[in-house]
A and B are shown apart, each in its own frame.
Chain A
């Protein structure tokens, strides 16, 4: 399974944008890039996913590099409720999600 590399932790201030980076240099052509987040004592929550083009939804934006070797999850205005562990995952043809340790996002009031 192709691996992803994320910073262990990041900090942001409330109402400011947050850019969470992810490197996936061994990505294959059929791998989808998925982002999930997990709050304490809850299951992971789907945030966004994409294949090649940038994607936007009500929660976030996903910017994918032209060579697809990296991507960035963008939270446009962080709130305290966005504090969570964010996982960047490559979903390959075997359909399973291989989670790493993710990025712990702290949002300061």
Chain B
């Protein structure tokens, strides 16, 4: 049973560019959350998508946006990239927003480097 799949695994972008990261949730999961993890820090919540709508949002600027598709997969878009956006971007899926059964399943992440 495939878990959470994220693509690409690594990405290098230039300041000011835009980037799109993709996530396929675990089979049977309908909710996707995105997290940003800077080096040496714990992951920081960006937002959560459920029923194709953004349901919760962390303290991230509007440059960070997302989308959820009818098949529950999701995209994270970041516009006007800054050097500080360099991080590991993690996607987590769950059955329901609260993940009351078996918690959230995380992917291995996309390593974004902004130069």
Chain A interface bracket (under 10, 10 to 19, 20 to 34, 35 or more):
20 to 34
Binary interface encoding of chain B residues 33-55 relative to chain A, with 1 for a CB under 8 A from any of its CBs, else 0: 10100000111110010000001
Given contacts A45-B106, A46-B102, A46-B104, contact A102 B42 (CB under 8 A): yes
A-B contact count (CB 8 A): 60
Binary interface encoding of chain A residues 89-103 relative to chain B, with 1 for a CB under 8 A from any of its CBs, else 0: 001001111111110
The answer to whether B42 and A87 have CB atoms under 8 Å apart is yes
Within 8 Å of chain B (Cβ to Cβ): is A19?
Answer: no
B42 nearest CB neighbor, chain A only:
A99
The answer to whether B45 and A97 have CB atoms under 8 Å apart is yes
Give, as a whole number of angstroms, the nearest-CB distance from A30 to chain B: 10
Within 8 Å of chain A (Cβ to Cβ): is B8?
Answer: no
Q: Which residues of B from 42 to 100 have beta carbons under 8 Å from A?
A: 42-45, 48, 55-56, 58, 90, 92, 97-100
**Chain A residues near B90 (CB-CB < 8 A):** 43-44
- A sample of 27 inter-chain contacts (CB < 8 A) reads A34-B103, A36-B103, A36-B104, A43-B90, A43-B106, A43-B107, A43-B108, A43-B109, A44-B43, A44-B90, A44-B92, A46-B105, A46-B106, A47-B103, A48-B103, A91-B99, A95-B48, A95-B56, A96-B33, A96-B58, A97-B35, A97-B45, A97-B92, A99-B35, A99-B42, A101-B41, A102-B42
Interface positions of A (Cβ within 8 A of B)? 32, 34, 36, 41-49, 87, 91, 94-102
